[in-house]
């Protein structure tokens, strides 16, 4: 069993914002795997399917970013999932737009969604796939992450989503080491 969580905020207002990159990746991956995350479970939009003999759960917590840990903990507990079989996708202010990076574990880097998950799980020993959004030259980062991508950033965003989906497929079927070697 592999649980793949995309972080974001629920609702039309946040749909196309930088902070919802995790949701965007889950939506694209679900499409590629012929899944649809429309069922409600674990305070999330959720879907589950066996792919190449591996049970895959895709999760989009609907608790808002800062409370994502509530939904993730429910799913991990329900499926008795090892933390090594959990990956969380989130945006990253400190990476250039369009870049991705996967890590086996590590700190939260000030990302409140990751902090919520680490707090609820009592551990940071879960994989995370970060998708770069860059940091604003000026202004409040909180406003920036809740704003939409510019026209100039759209191509980078689309490429990053595609790269993230390829990385997640590698993580699912070949493991985190192969994924890090291929995509970092």
Catalytic residues: 19
Pair of tokens at residue 127: 């994989």
Distances (CA, A) of 101 to 24, 26, 88, 90: 16, 16, 12, 10
- Residues 78, 94: Cα–Cα separation, whole Å: 33
Per DSSP, the three-state class of 60 is: strand
Distances (CA, A) of 153 to 48, 133, 159: 32, 9, 10
């Amino acid at each position: 069993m592999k649980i793949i969580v995309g972080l974001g905020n629920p609702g039309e207002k946040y749909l196309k914002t930088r902070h919802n990159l995790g949701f965007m990746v889950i939506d694209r991956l679900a499409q590629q795997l012929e899944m649809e995350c429309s069922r409600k479970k674990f305070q999330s939009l959720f879907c589950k399917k066996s792919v190449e003999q591996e049970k895959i759960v895709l999760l989009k917590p609907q608790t808002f970013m800062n409370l994502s840990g509530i939904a993730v903990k429910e799913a991990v507990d329900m499926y008795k999932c090892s933390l090594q079989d959990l990956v969380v996708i989130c945006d990253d202010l400190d990476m250039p737009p369009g870049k991705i990076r996967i890590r086996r574990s590590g700190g939260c880097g000030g990302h409140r969604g990751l902090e919520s998950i680490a707090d609820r799980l009592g551990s940071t020993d879960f994989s995370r796939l970060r998708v770069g959004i860059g940091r604003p030259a000026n202004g409040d980062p909180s406003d920036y992450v809740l704003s939409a991508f510019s026209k100039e950033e759209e191509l980078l965003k689309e490429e990053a989503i595609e790269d993230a989906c390829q990385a997640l497929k590698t993580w699912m079927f070949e493991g985190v080491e192969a994924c890090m070697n291929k995509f970092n």
